[in-house]
């Protein structure tokens, strides 16, 4: 792996790999993909968190696409995301000979502050700063950090939207690409996939009546990453082996968010 290349940040949504064998396929592709460039993986686990919350009698509630997290829910979120979901991914990656290291935002990766809408959202955090040097040291040692979206502030655990954490990591590392992988192939308007979006058009898109639910934080995260210094971002679904390579090459199959100058020149490559 060449550490002189700008890294790729891969964010895995909770439903991105629900198809049978998808996690194993991703791990196998990541094994070859990460040989050619540094990679950081950020993951959510919202679907699994909802299932565990319901088992424990906790209602899953959302506000503008973000999970409302009370003190009981943040404890379950920590157990599920930083525990079960994180270690399951690390185990799958390491079985494919990926040198994965499981961490959370709370483990010195990022400085987290209470969310600006904490009155509505509860124990939820915003990314204030990412320790890029810490992640770069891991990648220079040929490791693949696998980050759970649990942070800490003043001794309190906070749930962090994984899209926002991935955007903060991508911006801090000046990533060549942020891949927001979920169960949706990208932004659809009038049933048509939007393949390219100028980052300056995101504000207008967020006012569109068809842009609802989880697509809103994804578009916001993609825009934040690009404005913060990442070359590109893409919202896409896992489409079997070869997905990462195709998206990295800028081939059709998702919604790419870029600056107008990047769109005009066909996109950056490392």
pLDDT along the chain (270 residues), means of 10: 75 81 95 96 92 93 87 96 96 98 98 94 96 97 97 97 96 97 88 92 89 86 96 94 95 91 49
| 266 in catalytic set | no
Residue 11 designated active-site: yes
CATH number at residue 62: 3.40.1160.10
Q: Look at residue 268 in the predicted model and tell me its pLDDT.
A: 47
Within a domain: residue 2? no
Q: Residue 1 domain-assigned?
A: no
**Whole-angstrom distance, CA of residue 93 vs CA of residue 16:** 16
CB 267 within 8 A of CB 258: yes
Measuring CA to CA, how many Å separate 154 from each of 106, 203, 241?
A: 11, 33, 42
Active site residue 87: no
**Ordered DSSP codes for 114-171:** E-TTHHHHBSEEEEEEE-HHHHHHHHHTT-EEEEESEEEETTEEEEE-HHHHHHHHHH
Helix (H, G, I), strand (E, B) or coil at 53: helix
Q: What is the pLDDT of residue 4?
A: 55
| The one catalytic residue among 13, 44, 163, 220 | 163
Please check whether residue 40 is in contact with residue 139, taking contact to mean a CB–CB distance below 8 angstroms.
Answer: yes
Residue 88, Cβ density class (10 Å: 0-12 exposed, 13-18 middle, ≥19 buried): middle
Q: What is the pLDDT of residue 270?
A: 53
Record the pTM.
0.92
Q: Does residue 108 form part of some domain? A: yes
Other beta carbons within 10 angstroms of residue 204's beta carbon come to 10
Gap between the Cα atoms of 112 and 131, Å rounded:
11
Q: Single out the catalytic residue among 13, 44, 45, 46.
A: 46
Query: Is 3 among the domain residues?
Result: no
Q: Any alpha helices (H) in the chain, and if so which ranges?
A: 22-36, 46-55, 71-77, 86-95, 118-121, 132-140, 162-172, 202-205, 215-228, 243-248, 260-265
pLDDT of residue 217: 85
Indicate which residue of 13, 14, 44, 253 is catalytic: 14
Query: Is 61 a domain residue?
Result: yes
- Concerning whether 70 is annotated as a catalytic residue, the answer is no
For the chain, the domain total comes to: 1
Active-site position among 125, 126, 164, 218 = 218
Output the pLDDT for position 265: 43
Is 14 among the catalytic positions? yes
b/e map 46-79, b = 16+ CB within 10 Å: bbbbbebbeeeebebeeeebbbbbeeebbebbbe
Q: Where in the sequence is the domain holding 32, given as residue range(s)?
A: 8-265
The answer to whether residue 139 is domain-embedded is: yes
258 within domain boundaries: yes
Specify which residues 177 forms β-bridges with: 8
In-domain check, residue 113: yes
């Amino acid at each position: 792996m060449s550490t002189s290349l700008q890294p790729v940040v891969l964010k895995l949504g909770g439903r991105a790999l629900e198809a049978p064998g998808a996690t194993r396929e991703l791990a196998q592709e990541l094994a070859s993909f990460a040989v050619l460039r540094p990679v950081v993986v950020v993951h959510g686990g919202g679907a699994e968190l909802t299932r565990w919350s319901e088992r424990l009698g906790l209602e899953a509630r959302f506000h503008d696409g973000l999970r409302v997290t009370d003190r009981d829910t943040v404890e379950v979120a920590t157990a599920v995301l930083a525990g079960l979901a994180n270690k399951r991914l690390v185990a799958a990656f390491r079985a494919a000979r990926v040198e994965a290291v499981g961490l959370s935002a709370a483990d010195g990766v990022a400085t987290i502050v209470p969310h600006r809408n904490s009155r509505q959202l509860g124990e939820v955090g915003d990314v204030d700063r990412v320790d890029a040097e810490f992640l770069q040291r891991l990648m220079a040692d040929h490791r693949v950090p696998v980050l759970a979206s649990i942070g800490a502030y003043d001794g309190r655990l906070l749930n962090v939207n994984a899209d926002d954490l991935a955007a903060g990591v991508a911006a801090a590392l000046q990533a060549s690409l942020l891949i927001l992988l979920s169960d949706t192939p990208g932004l659809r308007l009038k049933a048509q996939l939007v393949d390219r979006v100028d980052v300056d058009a995101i504000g207008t898109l967020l006012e569109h009546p068809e842009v609802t639910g989880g697509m809103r934080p994804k578009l916001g995260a993609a825009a934040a990453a690009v404005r913060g210094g990442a070359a590109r971002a893409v919202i896409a679904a896992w489409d079997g082996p070869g997905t990462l390579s195709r998206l990295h090459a800028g081939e059709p199959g998702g919604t790419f968010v870029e600056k107008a100058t990047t769109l005009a020149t066909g996109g950056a490559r490392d």
